Chain A
Amino acid sequence: MFKSKIIGEKNQIYFQLKTKNYPLEAIYATAYIFIDRAYVYLDGDPAKEVTVFLQGKDELGKKKLAALQGEFLNELLNYLLRVEVARSNQKIREYIVATALVSSLPSQNPDYFSDSDEEAEAGDWESDPMGIAVSWEEKNKKTLRKDSESKTNDEDGKNEPFKIAVSCEEEKKETIKTSDERGSNISAWRDDPLGIAVSWEEKNKKTLRKTKEKNKAGKRK
């Protein structure tokens, strides 16, 4: 049995625990459990012995204080076992966590983008809940109809708001006028100093003649 001392006036009991038998982690955890029932205070040298002071929040007799100490020691045993199990399983836990982390990396796992995901995605876009996949023509059927109707009216010559009904000859005349008005800027491209504007036929007149003559000679033969 543990040596303990009860101070009835202070409603307090205290006892020593050897840290060889009871590691400090287990004592901390047990003390934390008892915080709501008693005032807990720890003192001493963690390398050798820790003194635990328990003071009841309500007034407790000597028996109840002794029972409180017993409960504390039982809980201490419980946490001692937990600490021991945690220590013995530490390497296994670390190994499991490490393998889980490594396997979750996409570069290491070839099945990361599986076929099932692709199939699921394919099903999703076909459903088109937002109505994004509808074409522009289907969306704007009404406006297209209006446009086509207005065009047919223009062809008939009923409406002539723009210059669509102007004939080709009139257009040519207008363009010649505007080009004359522009003056020297336009005459510059007509000069064609690099010879780009010359057609292929003009450039290769000689070769064309030769090929024609050859063709004629071949037909005579």
Chain B
Amino acid sequence: MKKNKLFFCKEIYNKNAVLKAMKDYSKLANFNFSENSKYFFVGISKERPEFKDVIENEFCNYVLSLGKK
């Protein structure tokens, strides 16, 4: 887990789950989505100050809960 940029392995995480999580969290921060052959990249910026410490980890948990590959 890197700060401000999250990596989701394509073979483990579902793309739809990542996109839905971005949509659901869109009120808490700004999200950018990109991908390469192995990973989905989610960039997080302008997050609300009260959620700044937890938003990345909570986002990872939420993506995991939404669905598997």
Q: List residues of chain A with CB under 8 Å of any chain B CB.
A: 24-25, 28, 31-32, 35, 39-47, 50, 53, 55
Kindly report which residue of chain A lies nearest to residue B56, judged by CB atoms.
Answer: A39
In the assembly, what is the distance between CA of A114 and CA of B68, in Å?
47
Given that A39-B58, A53-B1, A55-B57 are contacting pairs, would A45 and B64 also be in contact in the complex, using a CB cutoff of 8 Å?
no
Residues of B at the A interface (CB closer than 8 Å) are 1, 7, 9, 11-13, 57-58, 60-61, 64-65, 68-69
Number of A-B residue pairs at CB separation under 8 A: 41
| New contact pairs (5) apart from A24-B12, A35-B64, A44-B12, CB-CB < 8 Å | A39-B58, A41-B60, A42-B64, A44-B9, A50-B12
Report the bound CA distance from A19 to B61 in whole Å: 21
A39 contact set on B, CB distance < 8 A: 57-58, 60-61
For B61, list chain A residues within 8 Å (CB).
Answer: 35, 39-40
CA distance A46 to B58 in the complex (A): 23
Q: Is the CB of B57 within 8 A of A45?
A: no
CB of A147 to closest CB in B, whole Å:
75
Evaluate whether A31 and B64 lie within 8 angstroms (CB atoms) in the complex, with A42-B9, A43-B7, A50-B12 already known: yes
Q: Which residues of B contact A40 (CB under 8 A)?
A: 60-61, 64
A25 to chain B: which residues have CB within 8 Å? 68
Q: How far is the CA of A44 from the CA of B60 in the complex (A)?
A: 15
